[in-house]
Amino acid sequence: MKAAATFGKKTIRDVDVAGKRVFLRADLNVPIDDGRITDDTRIRASLPTIVHLLERDAIVILASHLGRPKGKVSDALRLKPVADRLSQLLGRPVRMTGDALGPGVQVAVDKLRPGDLLMLENLRFHAAEEDNDATFAESLAGLADIYVNDAFGSAHRAHASTEGITHHLPAVAGLLLEREVTALSKLLHRPPRPFHTVIGGAKVSGKLEVLEALLSRCQAILVGGGMANTFLAAKGMELGKSLVEDEQLANAERIMAEARRKRVRLMLPSDVVIAPQIHHRAQKRVVRVTEVPKDQMVVDIGPDTVTAYTEHLAKARTIFWNGPMGVFEIGSFAEGTNAIARFIAGRTADGVITIVGGGDSVAAVEKLHLARKMTHVSTGGGASLEFVEGKTLPGVEALLDADAPLPAAGDAA
């Protein structure tokens, strides 16, 4: 599906799920440290769809991946912590299977009754999931009558549970996926101008395509994080021990030239926070970008840069933010990221469209309790970037169009 001004796919509102087995593909790929979930944003974001289905007496078979087990069982990547957290949020036990497929799974599914919920074990314990294996997809489909995709964070992947399964079941969108596509579409279809982007993160290499796409849509791009180092290095500056992608210097030069040609203001830091190492006890100080010592590294944007960026953002009517301004995981290096987050959140009250595009930006916003003050906070890092690039997302494209008739369960969708 090409990004559209309105959501052009059928959703769970369009189907009668009472008494039906619903295969719900969610994105419950949350960060887990030593068995403890450190950010449950994606679980909470999936709740509206889960509750909608349960309240309408659907039999919900909930599936997700976790991490990158590469087709092998990993105890560290089992979904039990996710099931436990979901149990707390729903106020009811969430039963789990020991696998995503197999005789035991079928037995568990056969015992389900309307209003029941069963979570399958990590889909990616099977290499066939990421391979979009047709037999694996058909087997997953055999568990259910209807397919619902609410996993926006995985919608840019053509996997068995996001694309292959749609060839065997009526396939519709969940409420989160609908909300994501509708919100992000605002960036593609005549967003209120000026439209400014704040982009950060560690590397230029992972964001070349989105930068190129934004040059055709934005009036300004404000760069921070480690990726700013590569742009600064391309301008001839010495960055000490900072992360610089030498192989991307030519691309950085090309993007800056393209920005000049298209009259897009591409802003880079004028001052930075430096430290000898990335450590919470490291001594930091602020210097001009032209004065980074050889034994120091850039860990954040400086206060003058924050002032310049926020003054520019004060003119915007649409703001898209993806990527932190520094090593925000360490509190003393998070001031730039936090200041930008607070300022963008404050602009929402002025009627500005403020969209946070997934990834570490979401973690920063959640940590500051600012998510509700943004127009939209995406749960999909890579998916949100590809959508903004204007790419087709296989997991969305595969769903039934809004004006298509609903096929009977078992018919090819």
Are 122 and 208 members of one domain? no
Are 191 and 137 members of one domain? no
Q: How far apart are CA 199 and CA 225, in angstroms?
A: 8
Q: How far apart are CA 93 and CA 115, in angstroms?
A: 12
Residues 9-39 have pLDDT tens digits of: 999 999 999 999 999 999 999 999 988 998 8
In terms of phi and psi (left: phi > 0; alpha: psi -120 to 50; beta: otherwise), the region of 47 is alpha
Residues 192-201 have pLDDT tens digits of: 999 999 999 9
Catalytic residue among 80, 203, 254, 367: 203
Instruction: Identify whether 13 is a catalytic site residue.
Output: no
Q: Which residues contact 113 (CB under 8 A, 6 or more apart)?
A: 59
Are 133 and 28 members of one domain? yes
Are 172 and 190 members of one domain? no
**Residue that finishes a domain, picked among 145, 177, 209:** 177
Read off the pLDDT band of 6 (50, 70, 90).
Answer: low
Instruction: Identify whether 42 is a catalytic site residue.
Output: yes
In a domain, residue 82? The reply is: yes
Question: For residue 2, what pLDDT is reported?
Answer: 41
Confidence check: pLDDT of 1 > 50: no
Confidence check: pLDDT of 262 > 50: yes
Are 160 and 192 members of one domain? no
Confidence check: pLDDT of 345 > 50: yes
Tokens representing residue 299 in the block: 């860990």
Are 163 and 41 members of one domain? yes
Residues 115-171 have pLDDT tens digits of: 999 999 999 999 999 999 999 999 999 999 999 999 999 999 999 999 999 999 999
Average pLDDT of the residues in 367-382: 93
In a domain, residue 115? The reply is: yes
**Residue that finishes a domain, picked among 156, 177, 198:** 177
H helices of 33-79, in order, are 41-55
Per the CB < 8 A criterion, the answer to whether 300 and 272 are in contact is yes
In a domain, residue 398? The reply is: no
Read off the pLDDT band of 68 (50, 70, 90).
Answer: very high
Residues 230-252 have pLDDT tens digits of: 999 999 999 999 999 999 999 99
What b/e string do you get for 314-335 counting C-beta neighbours within 10 Å, with b at 16 or more? eebbbbbbbbbbbbbebebbbb
Instruction: Identify whether 359 is a catalytic site residue.
Output: yes
Specify the higher pLDDT residue, 113 or 5.
113
Question: For residue 361, what pLDDT is reported?
Answer: 87
Average pLDDT of the residues in 166-181: 97
Average pLDDT, the chain: 94
In a domain, residue 202? The reply is: yes
Catalytic residue among 359, 380, 381, 395: 359
Residue 411, CA distances (Å) to 136, 166, 404, 405, 406 in order:
17, 10, 14, 12, 10
Catalytic residue among 254, 382, 390, 391: 382
Q: What is the bridge-based pairing of β-strands 318-322 and 195-199?
A: parallel
Are 160 and 270 members of one domain? no
Read off the pLDDT band of 359 (50, 70, 90).
Answer: confident
Confidence check: pLDDT of 348 > 60: yes
Q: How far apart are CA 380 and CA 362, in angstroms?
A: 9
Instruction: Identify whether 72 is a catalytic site residue.
Output: no
Catalytic residue among 42, 207, 347, 373: 42
Number of domains in the chain: 2
In a domain, residue 85? The reply is: yes
Tokens representing residue 86 in the block: 């979901």
Longest dimension (CA), the chain: 68
CATH code of residue 116: 3.40.50.1260
In a domain, residue 7? The reply is: no
Question: For residue 3, what pLDDT is reported?
Answer: 39
Confidence check: pLDDT of 306 > 70: yes
pTM for the model: 0.91
Question: For residue 406, what pLDDT is reported?
Answer: 85
Are 218 and 151 members of one domain? no
Average pLDDT of the residues in 199-212: 92
Are 218 and 171 members of one domain? no
Q: For the ranges 80-84, 137-141, 207-211, 313-317, which has the lowest average pLDDT?
A: 207-211
Read off the pLDDT band of 386 (50, 70, 90).
Answer: very high
Are 140 and 246 members of one domain? no
Are 124 and 226 members of one domain? no
Read off the pLDDT band of 4 (50, 70, 90).
Answer: very low
Are 260 and 355 members of one domain? yes
Domain boundaries, position 90:
12-177
Average pLDDT of the residues in 98-108: 96
Confidence check: pLDDT of 5 > 60: no
Q: How far apart are CA 385 and CA 42, in angstroms?
A: 17
**Residue that finishes a domain, picked among 119, 145, 177:** 177
In a domain, residue 373? The reply is: yes
In a domain, residue 5? The reply is: no
Q: For the ranges 22-26, 95-99, 381-385, which has the lowest average pLDDT?
A: 381-385
- CA-wise closest residue to 169 among 16, 398, 2: 398
Confidence check: pLDDT of 411 > 70: no
Q: How far apart are CA 311 and CA 220, in angstroms?
A: 12
